[in-house]
A and B are shown apart, each in its own frame.
Chain A
Amino acid sequence: MKKKVVSLVLAGAMTLSLALTGCGGGGSDSGDAPASDSGSGSEEASDSGDSEGGDKQFEGITLKWWGGNAENNAGTQAVMEAATEKLGMEFEVEVNPGGSEGDNILKTRMASGDLPDFLVYNSGSKLHDLNPSRGFLDISDWDIIDKFDDAFLSSVTIDDAVYGAPQSSTQAGAVIYYKPDYEELGLEVPHTWDEFLDNCKALADAGKTPVYFTGGETWATQVLFLGDYYNIAAKNPDFADDYTNGKAKYADVPEATRSWTKYEDLVDYLNADKSAATVTDGNFAIATGEATHWFILTQQLPLILENADNPDDIGVFGVPGEDADDHGLTVWEPMSWYVNKDSENIEAIKAFFEFYYSEEALDLYFETYGANGPSCVKGYELPESVCNAVRVDMQQYFDDGKTVPALEYQSPIKGTTCEQMTTAVGLGQMSGEEAAAMYDDDCKKSAVQLGYDWE
C-alpha cells in the first residue's frame, strides 16, 4: 500500500514538472492570446443585453473566427470590442498555429465542413491551393469591395469571384534592422548586396550578431528568398509568366539562383541559436538590438515595437540586389478575411465588415496596433501614430514606384517544401545551387497538381 502511494506521488510530480517545462516555452506565444478577454466580455454583454436593446441588432450572436497570433492582435480586438458595443455581436477566436501546420488544419476542416463563421488566411497562391469555392463565400456583391485597391482585389479573385477582404495593411518581405547599431558604427543603409555584406562584416567585427535566423520556425526563413523577388523581376520582367508556364527555372536564371545563394553568404553571420530560434525570439532580438538585421515580413513590426524602447530605433529596407540605383521592395498583400459560405450568421458578418472598413474602425485598428505597411483601402491615410519604419522607410519605396508584388501574387505555383529548403541552405547544410535545382523539382510537382503541363 505504502509503495503504491509513493509511486503515485512520484508519478504526479514527474508529470507536473514535464507539464511545467512545456508551459514555460509556450508561454511567450500563447500569453498574449486573448481568447479569455472576448470570452468574459461576451458574458457581460449578454447579461446587460436587455436594458440596451435598440440598434444592437445582432445581440446574442456569437461569431467564431480563426486566425494566427499576428491577426488576433490588440487592434483586431479593439475593433471587435467596438463592434460588440455598436452592433451587438460577440466574437470568439480560435488561434491557428500558422505555417504548414495551420494550412493542414484549415484544409482538413474545410473538407469536413467544419469551418468557423469567418477566418483569416493568406491571399494569392495559397488561396488558389485551397480551392476556395468549396468553402468560402463569394463576396463580390458586398459594398466594401469598392473600397479596396486593385492590387489587393486581384490577389483574392479567382474566376471572377472575390473571396477576401484585407485583414490589415500591405506588408513587405524586407530587412528590418536595429538603427542604433548603424549609428554606433557609422553605417549607411546598403543599396547593393555587397554593401550589405560589408555592413554585416563590420557588425560582426564589432562583436554584434549581424543577421537573425529563425530555424525553429521554418516559414520565416523563406523571407530572404521570397523578398529577393524584386531583384529577379527587375532584370527579368517576364519571370512570373515564364515561371508559371514552366519556362523559367530557378536553377537557370542567374538572378533567381542568386536568391538561393544569398543564404550561403550569411552562414557565418547568424545568431548562435539559429537552428532553434523562433519568430517570437526574433521580435525580441531586433527590438533590443541583440541582432541587427532580420529578413522578415513587416507584419512583425508592431510586435517588434512592443518590445522596443523607442519606435524610431527600428528601420526597414528592401532586400538589396546588384544595382544600387534600383533598390526596391517586394510587397505582400495582407492576409484576408474569408467568410464561411455555410455560416448561419452571414448578415452579422457582413455588418461587422462594413464597420471594419469604416474610417473610425481603421483608425482604431492602426492606432491601437500599428501598421505593417501602407494600407490597401483606397484613399485612406495611416494615422500619425504609426511608426516611421512604415510611414517613412517603406512609404519611400511606394512613392518612388520601386515596389513589386511578391511572386505568390503573380503565379499560383509555389513549391511546398520551400521553407525546409531555405532553412537547410540558411543553416549551411546544402548549397544554394543544389537548393535552386531541388526547388524547381518541387515546383513542378505543385504545377502538375494544379493542372499545368510542365515538361
Chain B
Amino acid sequence: MKTKKERSLYPVWFVLPSLIIFVIFFLWPIISSLYYSLTVWNFDTAKFCGLDNYKLFFSEHSMSSSVVHTLIYAFGTSALKVVLAFFIAIFLTSAIKTKGFIRSAVFFPNLVSMMAVGLAFSYMMHPTKGLLNVVIQAFGGTAIDFLGNPSTALISIIMTDVWKGLSISVVIYIAGIQSIDKTYYEAASIDGATGWQQLKHITLPLVAPSQNSIIILSLIGGLRSFDLIWAMTGGGPGFSTDVLASVIYKQYAAGFYGLSTAGNVVMLILISVIAFPLQHFLNKREEAIQG
C-alpha cells in the first residue's frame, strides 16, 4: 500500500476527459448491448426475454457452418499473411536495386478501399466474362467458377484478403528486420553460417515481436471480417461463405435486432477467447526466445 502515501504528481481528474469519452463511446455501448441482447427491441420498445435470443442464435441453421467459416477465414488469412509477408520482407530488406519502388508496389493494394477491391475482384472472377477465366481459357484451361462454387468461394475471398492485407504485415516485418543489429550477421558469417542458417537462427527469432503483432492483428481482423465477404459474395452462394459477422448482419437487416445484438456479444466473446490466450502464449514465447 505504498502508493497511497505517495502523492500523485498530477490531480486525478486529468484523467477525466478521456475517461468520459471512454465511458460514453466504449463502455456504455458494450454494457447496453449486453442488456439489449436479452430483449426483443425495435428502437421504440424493448421487451425482456432472458436468454431466448442466445438460444435462437445458436439454433440458427447457418450458425455452425458460419463459425467454421469464420475460423477457416481468420486462421487461413492470418497464416498466409505471416508466412508470405516474411519472405517478401526478407526480399525487400536484401540488397536489391529498385527497393523503394517494389516496397511501394507491395503497399499499393492497401490504399484502395475494401469495397472497391471486393467489387473489382468479383468482376475479375466472373465465371464467363472475368479476366481470370479469360486468361485461363486462353491457355486452354476450363473456366473456374471462383465465387459461385461453394468449394472455391471461401478460398477465393481469402486470397483476395491476403492480396490486400499483406502489405501491412510486410511493413511491420521490414521494421522488425531492420532493427536487428547487423553485428549478429557479421559474427555468424565469420563463423561460417550459411544464409539459410542466418535466416533461421538470427532473423526468425529476433523478428518474433513483429511476428506476434502480425499474428494478433490479422487474426482479430479475420475473425470480425465482413466487408470484403459482403462485397464479393454476400455470404453466398447459398450460405457457403457466411461468417459470423454476415449472419449477424442479415439478422439485423431482417429486423431481428435483439437477436443480432446477441450475435455481436457472442462474437465479442469468441474473439476474446481466442485473442487473449493467444497473446499471452505469444508473449511467453517471445520472452523465452529473447530471455
> Residues on A close to B: CB < 8 A?
3, 6-7, 10-11, 14-15, 18-19, 21-22, 24-26, 100-101, 103-104, 107, 111, 129, 131, 134, 215, 218, 272-276, 416-417, 420-421, 423-424, 427, 429-430, 438, 441-442, 445-446, 448-449
Contacts and interface: CB of A to CB of B under 8 A. Distances in A.
Contacts of B124: 21
B236 A215 contact: yes
A436 to B, nearest CB: 13
Nearest to B230: A101
Contacts of B44: 134
B120 A22 contact: yes
A427 B119 CA distance: 22
Given A14-B108, A134-B44, A429-B238, 12 more contacts: A18-B120, A21-B119, A25-B123, A134-B43, A215-B148, A272-B128, A274-B127, A417-B239, A417-B250, A420-B238, A430-B238, A449-B255
A427 B101 contact: no
B190 interface: no
A22 B148 contact: no
Q: Which one of A6, A21, A103, A438 has the highest number of Cβ atoms from chain B below 10 Å of its Cβ?
A: A21
A10 B128 CA distance: 30
Contacts of A26: 119
A410 B128 CA distance: 40
12 contacts: A3-B101, A7-B105, A11-B111, A18-B117, A19-B116, A21-B123, A272-B128, A276-B128, A416-B254, A416-B256, A423-B238, A429-B238
A109 B121 CA distance: 30
Contact of B101 (A6, A100, A416, A424): A6
B286 interface: no
B145 A275 contact: yes
A416 B252 CA distance: 11
Contacts of B40: 449
Nearest to A217: B234
Contacts of A438: 61
Nearest to A281: B129
Contacts of B111: 11, 14-15
Interface of B: 40, 42-44, 56, 61-62, 100-101, 104-105, 108, 111-112, 116-117, 119-120, 122-124, 126-129, 143, 145, 147-150, 234-240, 249-256
Contacts of B147: 275-276
A129 B235 CA distance: 23
Contacts of B123: 21-22, 24-25
Contacts of A420: 235-236, 238-239
Contacts of B234: 218
Interface majority SS (helix, strand, loop, mixed), chain B: loop
A454 B214 CA distance: 49
A424 B127 contact: no
Q: Which one of B43, B129, B147 has the highest number of Cβ atoms from chain A below 10 Å of its Cβ?
A: B43
Nearest to A437: B61
Contacts of B56: 445, 448
A111 B62 CA distance: 28
A123 B270 CA distance: 40
A424 B252 contact: no
A276 B104 contact: no
Contacts of A449: 40, 255-256
Q: Which one of A25, A420, A442 has the highest number of Cβ atoms from chain B below 10 Å of its Cβ?
A: A420
B252 A274 contact: no
B112 A131 contact: no
A310 B62 CA distance: 46
A7 B253 contact: no
Q: Which one of B116, B122, B254, B256 has the highest number of Cβ atoms from chain A below 10 Å of its Cβ?
A: B254
B30 to A, nearest CB: 21
Given A215-B236, A429-B240, A445-B256, A10 B105 contact: yes
Contacts of A272: 127-128, 143
Contacts of B104: 6-7, 10-11
Contacts of B239: 417, 420, 424
Given A273-B127, A424-B239, A429-B237, A104 B253 contact: yes
Contacts of A445: 56, 256
B253 A276 contact: no
A441 B61 contact: yes
Contact of B100 (A3, A131, A215, A423): A3
Contacts of A6: 100-101, 104
B126 A22 contact: no
A276 B256 CA distance: 29
Contact of B126 (A15, A273, A427, A442): A273
A406 B100 CA distance: 63
A421 B239 CA distance: 8
Given A103-B253, A104-B253, A441-B61, A273 B237 contact: no
Contacts of A218: 234, 236
A10 B108 contact: yes
A276 B125 CA distance: 9
Q: Which one of A100, A101, A423, A449 has the highest number of Cβ atoms from chain B below 10 Å of its Cβ?
A: A449
5 closest Cβ pairs, A-B complex: A275-B148, A424-B238, A7-B104, A104-B253, A416-B254
Q: Which one of B40, B100, B116, B120 has the highest number of Cβ atoms from chain A below 10 Å of its Cβ?
A: B120
Contacts of B252: 104
A107 B120 contact: no
